[in-house]
Amino acid sequence: MRHCAVFILWFLALAPLAGCQENEQEARPAKVAVTASNAYETYFGAPPKVTGGQCYALVGFYPRADNPAKVTPIPHFVITEENQQQLLVEQLIKGGAVPGLENVFVNPFPPGTTLLSLTVNGATMNVDLSPEVLEQTDPILQKGLLASIGHSVVQFEPVENLVVTAAGTPLPWMPGLNYVPLRASVIAPQKPRLLQAVVEEHAGAQGAHEILFFFDRPVEVGEFTLADASGEEISGEYYTSVFDMAVVLHPENPDRFTAGKRVQVAWQVTDRLGRAASGQQTLVLQHQEHP
């Protein structure tokens, strides 16, 4: 298991990509379903299955750079049933920096903001933040901050509305006694995107142990071809992994692929709600070391 951005916990049990090479004689553990919130199923459809223990599919809502009063959902996967609301709100405060989507979202929480406490009283959740949150004076970003937390927490029953405080005092821009997030403030996800390519190297090894190509949500892969900077096709075993959010390549010549090298990717994918996308992109391989 490895941890990556957006509070997504990556699982490394590899599922074979249809049409690609695999050892059909290899016994693979049975997969189990991921428990999904209603919000996840609304915006991303049925959750993927995983090999291993119980997992939970949630949604974090992030203000858009082109209209910070509006938010767009991003999938989050967690492996604990406890403190999910707290973990999710803490990730929102960090800004959920998604590699490849840095210019799509904006973080409305001022630097230094932390979560002090999170409590539920009936249908109301109180999120108490540190005083740094009061440094946010932009009215549009204030709306985005409330929409970000509000839509993220109401996916947890029985929460229906929200009170946000700064060290126990309600935010001065709270609309009344509490905040009810409106569906109109959500811009649904559009077509899937290919985000980045990551070279994973084992400690002390030279070259890529595997290359992972991350999408912004679970997808089914129709086509996927890879070439080096000169256009020469790269061969190797391909799989889908990481909650079906990544295509993984075990290159035949790993010493050819190191961080900073450019690769050319042609792909066609479809998400669980039938949104199809394709593209041809040149990506710079990013580095990640695995023990």
pLDDT of residue 62: 96
pTM: 0.85
Summarize pLDDT for 124-165 with one digit per residue, the tens.
Answer: 999 999 999 999 999 999 999 999 999 999 999 999 999 999
105 phi and psi angles, rounded to 5 deg: -120, 160
- Residue 18's pLDDT is 31
The residue-averaged pLDDT of 85-112 equals 89
Check if the beta carbon of residue 39 is closer than 8 Å to that of residue 9: no
| Residue of 120, 62, 57, 55 lying closest to 86 (CA atoms) | 120
Q: Which residue has the tokens 């989507």?
A: 101
In terms of Cα–Cα distance, which of 188, 122, 118, 189 is closest to 153?
118
Instruction: Kindly report the average pLDDT of the chain as a whole number.
Output: 85
Contacts (Cβ under 8 Å, ≥6 apart) of 172: 134
Secondary structure E strands in 135-261: 161-166, 169-170, 194-202, 210-215, 219-228, 236-241, 246-251
Residue 280: CB atoms within 10 A of its CB come to 11
Residue range 223-235, pLDDT digits in tens: 999 998 889 888 7
- Name the band, by pLDDT with cuts 50, 70 and 90, for residue 16: very low
Q: How does residue 203 score in pLDDT terms, banded at 50, 70 and 90? A: low
